[in-house]
Structure 1
C-alpha cells in the first residue's frame, strides 16, 4: 500500500491489544508446575514476540481455511447484509471455540454444520467494543463443526467501507461504494480472524443494483454483464486485509491480455493511457523475481476520496486518481502496488510489528522497476525524496518506532506505524544489502526468498534466519550479523547506509539558491523540462517560510496555487499557510474538499490548525468535505483538529 508519511500522527493514543492466545491451563491445587527449561523459555518468548497483538483470533487453536460470502449491497441503508461461512481447520484437539474479530457488526445468527450435514444454532457472545480492536466474537462449537456460518449486517459507519453519493463521484449519476481493509478494517465488514497470520481462499456471491458493477479482489471477468448478480473466486490463499469490494458505475479498458483498468466512464481512457506501461512493469518484475502468480492484474481507479495512494488488493489494485497527471510522472505508484504481488501478497508479514516485510521490500522492488523502465535518474530522485521525508519524520517520532521489527506493545494501533520506517528505511536496508553483495548475488537471493516463503505469512525472525543462512553464511565477510541486527532492531539509519546522489536535483538546488539569494527565477527553458519530482524537490528545499511577495512571484511564474498535481499541492499549500499567504485560502479549501488522500491533505491540515484563523478555515473546510471523506481520513482530520483545540486548555492547566 502507498500510505501517508504522517500515519504516525493519525489518531490519539488507543488502548492496547487484548489477549490473542488461549489461557494456560490452571494447575491442580496440590500440584507444583514444573520449572520451564531454558529451551521452553526461549520458545515461549519467540511465540509471544510473533503473536499478532491486534487480533482476538486464536489461530493456534483453529484457523479459517476457506471463506464463502453471501452479500447484498444496499446503497440506501449504506450496509452490506449477508453471511460468512468458514471452513475450519481445528489445530488443537481440545479446542471447541471459534474466536473472531468484528467491529460495529450486528450479528444476527450463528450456525454450525453437524457431521450429518444438518445446520444447528450455536451460542455466541459479542464482547464490548475496544476502541482499537473492535468486539471479540466468541462462538461455542461443541461438535467442532467443519463449517460455521455467521449472518450479519454492517454498520453505515463501518470503518472499512465508504459509501459515496452520486455527487461525490466522477460521473455524478451513480452512487459508489468501496472497501479499505488494511490494516485491521476488514473486521468492520466481515467477521474474521482479522490477522495477516491467517490465510484463506474465498468465494463470494454478491447482489446489488443493476446499474452498479461489483468487483472484488478475485477473478473479475472484464466481460462480465452488469446485471446486479455477481460471483467471485479467489483460489490463492490471502490474508484478511486483502479482502476488497467495490461497486459503482465502472467500465473496463484493456492494457494487455492480462492487465487493464476499471474506472468510471469519463476516467477510464485517461487512466489506461497513464498506466499504459503496466504490462512492461509486470514483465520487468518477472525477469527479476519470478512469475506473476495471480493470473490477471487490473487497476480500479477510485474517486478522489480514497484515503491512500493505492492498495494492493490481489488481482485488483485500488488506485487514487491523483496520480493521473498526464505525463506518467507518478506511475511509480502502479509499480509499487504491482510489486506487492511478490512482496506482501505472496510473502506476507505475520503481524503489523513486521510491516517492513511488506512495505520495505515493495518499495525496494518498486525502485528497481522504475530504474529499469524510466532510468536511474528517476529512481534516484524518488529515493532522495523519500529519504528527505524520512529525515524530517525521524526528528519527531519515538525512536522505538524507528526500528524495522517492533517489540510487542510498541504499536498501539497498526494505523499508527511510521511510514518512513516501514517503507523508506526498509527499502534502504535492502539497497544496503544489494550494494554489499552486488546484484548478481542479491537478485537471486531475493527471488529465492519469494519462492521459499510463497503464500506464507512470516515474522521478521524468519527473514533473519533465511538471510543469515543464504547471504551471510554463503558469502562471508560482506555483512556482519551485528550490521544486520542494527538495521533491523535499532533506531535511526545506520552509518553504513548507502548514499544516493541526484545530479538533476543538484541543478534544482542551484536554481532555488539563485532565487532565494538573488531573486532570480529559474530560466523557463530549464523549468519547462522539470518533472514532478524536480518541482517537489524545488518546493521542499525552500525556507520554512517566505515573504508574501516571494510566494506571489512564484505563483505568477508557475501557478502553484490551484495546481491539479497533488504531489506539488501537498508541498505548496503548507508553505503558503506557514507564510501567511492568504491568497491561496480559496484554492486550499477547494483542494481539501476534493481530495481525500491522506498523504496529500494532512500536511496542509497540520499547518492550518496552528493559528486561530487557520483552525477556523480547517474546521469550516472539513465540515464541507467530511461527507466525501473515507472514515479513515475523517478520523485523521478529526484527531488533528481536536488536538489543536485542546492545546490552549492544556497549556492553561
Structure 2
C-alpha cells in the first residue's frame, strides 16, 4: 500500500507491513518511530511535524578551497498545519533557500551547539520541496581532504567522508538522525582525472563532461539513515571480485587489496544463506588511504575500509565480514537513536562470527568469539562491573553509543546466549524473519524486545525466565546466563603463556605457527608489567616491532610502551604516523601519556606531527587524551 498518502502522524505510528519489508517497496517513506524510546537528542529536527524524505545533491569539489558547494534539494513531508521544517547544520554556509518554483523561503540559523551544530529553520509557506544553496566549511568534520603526499600514489589529492554518527550535517543540510530514513541522489563534479564514488548506484560510471572536470551521478532508491550517505574522490581504479562484488582503490594499493578480498563473493553468499537476500544490488568496497579513522564503515553498496586490514594472509578479513553483515543489521534495520547502537553493532558482531564460521570453520570462529569475550571483560574492568556504561541500552551516551566492549561484544554475547538457549535453528529462523519484517525501518531496544517476545518467546515462561532479556538490555554488568566461549579455544596458547610466565624462554613459544587470533591471545594474556630483558627477548624471538600485521603490532606496542621499553618508541612513531585508525591511535597515545615524564614528551612530539594527518573523528578523541 503506498504510504505517501497517509497523514504523517498516522504514518509514524504504523507498524511495518509485509509489503513494506519487500525490496520492491524501496523508495517509499520509512516511518519515523515515535515514543519516549525513540526520541533522538542528537538532532534539532522535529520529524513529527515535518521531515525530509529525499535528498538530491548537486555539488562540486574544490580541493584548493577544501569545500563542497552547490545545492541540496529536499523533498518534505509535513503534518497538517506545519509551517516550518528544522534541519541540522554544522558549519554550513547557507546562501539561499527557495521552494520548487524558485521563490525565496525565509530561513534562520539558531544558536550553535559544539556537538550538534545549529538548527536550520525554514519557513515552508506550503512548499513540499526546498532547494538550499550552500557550501561546506573547509574544516567540515565529516570530510578529510588529503594532499597528494598523504596518498599511496603521491600524485593526486583525495577526499573521503565519514558521517557516523552525526557528522554528515557538516556537508549535507538535512535531518541528521538515524531514525529519519531518506532516499537520495547526487551529481558530483570533480576535477580531472579524479573519480568520484558514493554509497549508491552508479549512474555514470565514466563520468560526464562538466565545467570544472567530470560529473558523476548516483542514486539510492532505498530509504537509508542519513549517516550512510558517503563520498570518496581520488585517483581510483576498480577490480571486480565476483558477479556483484568488487573493490575500488588507488592503483598502487590495488594488487594487495584485491588479493586480501578474494573471498568477498563467498561471504555474501554465506550471509544470504543465514539471514536472507542481500537487498542492495552490488557489494563493492573501497580501500581508502590510511588516514581513514575506522576499520570499516558499512556505507550501503560501498563499504569503506582502512588499508590496515591488509595483512597479506587474509587473517583480518573478519573486518570485511563485519561490514558486510551491516547490510542487514544497521543498514536494513537501523537503531533509531544512538543510545541503542548495540542494535547495529552487537547484531553485526554476532552475524560476523557466523559468516566466519561458515567460511573458515568452527575453530577460527571459536577463537574470535573468545577474543570478543575478553573485550567484554576488559570493558567491565575499566568501567566497573556495575557501571551504567555497561548497559546495552545506554541513555547516558549521546552519539558514540558506549564502549566497544559493551556495544559490540556484550551485544553479540546477548544474541549468542539467546541462540544457545532456544537453539540455533530456531534463532536463525527468528533473525531472518526479523530482518524481513523490519526491513528499511528504524528500531529501538524496547521494540526489539517486544518483537522477540512476540515472535520467538511466544509466551513460553521457561524461555522468558532463562533468557533474562530485560537484565541484558537495561541492567549493567554481565548476566549470569551468559554463553561463555569454549575454554579449549586457546588451550595451547594459554599453556604457552603459563610456561613463559614461569620463566620459560620465548624461543619455546610456537608463535610462528600460530594464527593471528592465537598471537593476539598470547600478547594480551602476558603480564602487563614485564622487565626490560623479557620484553627484549620477546621482541627478538618474534620480530614484534617489525610486524606487518596491524593488530599484533598494536598489541605489542601497547605492552611495550606501558613498560617504557625504549626500542618500541621508533616503531610506535612509524605506526602512529602511518595511519589514522582511532582504534589503534587513541590507546597508544593514552598509554604514552600515562607514562608521565617518560611518555608524555614522546606523545606530544609525535602528535604534533601526526595530528594534521588525522580525521576529525580521531583528533576529537586524542585531543582529549592530550588535554587539548
Q: 1:604 aligns with which of 588, 592, 604?
A: 588
Report the CA distance shift for 1:222/1:169 in structure 2 as closer, same or farther (over 3 A): farther
Please give the residue correspondences for 1:447-458 in structure 2 after superposition, counting only pairs within 5 Å: 447-458=432-443
Q: How far apart in 2 are the matches of 1:537 and 1:237?
A: 41
Aligned residues: 590
Please give the residue correspondences for 1:272-421 in structure 2 after superposition, counting only pairs within 5 Å: 272-397=258-383, 399-407=387-395, 410-411=396-397, 413-415=398-400, 417-421=402-406
1:238 correspondence with 2:224: yes
Match of 2:554 in 1: 570
The range that moved more, 582-591 or 502-511, is 502-511
The range that moved more, 128-137 or 498-507, is 498-507
Deviations 1:460-480 (A, max 9, x none): 121111101111116552232
Q: TM-score, normalised by structure 2?
A: 0.91
- Alpha carbons 1:67, 1:200 under 8 Å: kept: yes
1:112 correspondence with 2:99: yes
Report the CA distance shift for 1:76/1:141 in structure 2 as closer, same or farther (over 3 A): same
1:224 correspondence with 2:209: no
Q: How far apart in 2 are the matches of 1:531 and 1:475?
A: 42
1:99 correspondence with 2:99: no
Deviations 1:614-637 (A, max 9, x none): 111111101111121101111111
Q: How far apart in 2 are the matches of 1:567 and 1:128?
A: 43
Compute the displacement of 1:51 (Å).
0.5
Q: How far apart in 1 are the matches of 2:67 and 2:622?
A: 24
Please give the residue correspondences for 1:129-278 in structure 2 after superposition, counting only pairs within 5 Å: 129-143=112-126, 145-220=127-202, 223-225=205-207, 228-278=214-264
- Alpha carbons 1:377, 1:502 under 8 Å: kept: no
Q: 1:537 aligns with which of 493, 500, 521?
A: 521
- Alpha carbons 2:69, 2:136 under 8 Å: kept: yes
- Alpha carbons 2:248, 2:284 under 8 Å: kept: yes
Q: TM-score, normalised by structure 1?
A: 0.88
Q: How far apart in 1 are the matches of 2:290 and 2:362?
A: 31
SS of 1:518's equivalent in the other structure is coil
- Alpha carbons 1:262, 1:268 under 8 Å: kept: yes
The range that moved more, 158-167 or 388-397, is 388-397
Q: How far apart in 2 are the matches of 1:46 and 1:240?
A: 18
Deviations 1:165-211 (A, max 9, x none): 01011111111100000000010110110001111111100101111
Report the CA distance shift for 1:328/1:120 in structure 2 as closer, same or farther (over 3 A): same
Q: How far apart in 2 are the matches of 1:264 and 1:46?
A: 44
1:70 correspondence with 2:63: no
Q: How far apart in 1 are the matches of 2:447 and 2:74?
A: 29
Q: How far apart in 2 are the matches of 1:211 and 1:547?
A: 54
1:461 correspondence with 2:446: yes
- Alpha carbons 2:401, 2:407 under 8 Å: kept: no
Compute the displacement of 1:406 (Å).
2.3
Q: How far apart in 2 are the matches of 1:319 and 1:126?
A: 35
Deviations 1:429-467 (A, max 9, x none): 100110111112111100000000000012112111110
Report the CA distance shift for 1:539/1:217 in structure 2 as closer, same or farther (over 3 A): same
- Alpha carbons 1:214, 1:245 under 8 Å: kept: yes
Report the CA distance shift for 1:323/1:221 in structure 2 as closer, same or farther (over 3 A): farther
Deviations 1:271-296 (A, max 9, x none): 11111111111111111111100000
Gaps of 5+ in 2: 1-8, 10-32
- Alpha carbons 2:519, 2:552 under 8 Å: kept: yes
Higher relative contact order (CA 8 A, sep 6+): 1
Q: How far apart in 2 are the matches of 1:587 and 1:80?
A: 37
SS of 2:201's equivalent in the other structure is coil
SS of 1:486's equivalent in the other structure is helix
Q: How far apart in 1 are the matches of 2:485 and 2:207?
A: 50
RMSD over aligned Cα, in angstroms? 1.7
Match of 1:123 in 2: 106
Compute the displacement of 1:613 (Å).
2.6
The range that moved more, 364-373 or 574-583, is 574-583
The range that moved more, 553-562 or 237-246, is 553-562
Compute the displacement of 1:576 (Å).
1.0
Q: How far apart in 1 are the matches of 2:287 and 2:219?
A: 21
- Alpha carbons 2:379, 2:406 under 8 Å: kept: no
- Alpha carbons 1:109, 1:151 under 8 Å: kept: yes
Match of 2:12 in 1: none
Q: How far apart in 2 are the matches of 1:472 and 1:222?
A: 48
Match of 1:31 in 2: none
Compute the displacement of 1:225 (Å).
4.8
Compute the displacement of 1:416 (Å).
5.8
SS of 2:73's equivalent in the other structure is strand
Match of 1:501 in 2: 486
Gaps of 5+ in 1: 1-20, 22-44, 644-653
Compute the displacement of 1:401 (Å).
1.8
SS of 1:265's equivalent in the other structure is coil
SS of 1:139's equivalent in the other structure is strand
Q: How far apart in 1 are the matches of 2:495 and 2:326?
A: 37
- Alpha carbons 1:160, 1:181 under 8 Å: kept: yes
Compute the displacement of 1:47 (Å).
1.7
Deviations 1:6-45 (A, max 9, x none): xxxxxxxxxxxxxxx9xxxxxxxxxxxxxxxxxxxxxxx9
Q: How far apart in 1 are the matches of 2:34 and 2:470?
A: 16
Q: How far apart in 1 are the matches of 2:620 and 2:548?
A: 25
